[in-house]
Amino acid sequence: MNPAYIALLVLEGLMGVFLVVLILLHSPKGEGMGGIGGTATLFTGKRGAEAGLDRLTWGVAFGFLLVCTVLGFGFIKP
């Protein structure tokens, strides 16, 4: 097998696990069913760690999509 293909497969797996962990680290965005009574605090600004976590999550998601596209369309043959 092509070493570049194997490296991308390993990278895809690691990025997938890392993406799941990053998504689970995010705080809840709303009150869920408790927000029906009007006590929900939607539209609050993000600060500090939450904004950084957001950027990191988007970056990993974009990288994961890029690696999946390269592998899926066969730009690198096995």
The pLDDT tens digits for 4-18 are: 999 999 999 999 999
- Two tokens at 38? 């009007």
64 lies in a domain? yes
The pLDDT tens digits for 52-74 are: 999 999 999 999 999 999 999 99
* Number of domains observed in the structure of the chain: 1
The pLDDT tens digits for 22-47 are: 999 988 766 666 656 555 555 556 67
CB 71 within 8 A of CB 23: no
76 lies in a domain? yes
Domain extent, residue 18, equals 9-24+50-78
* Beta strand residue intervals within 3-76, DSSP E: none
18 lies in a domain? yes
pLDDT of the residue at 35 = 58
61 lies in a domain? yes
30 lies in a domain? no
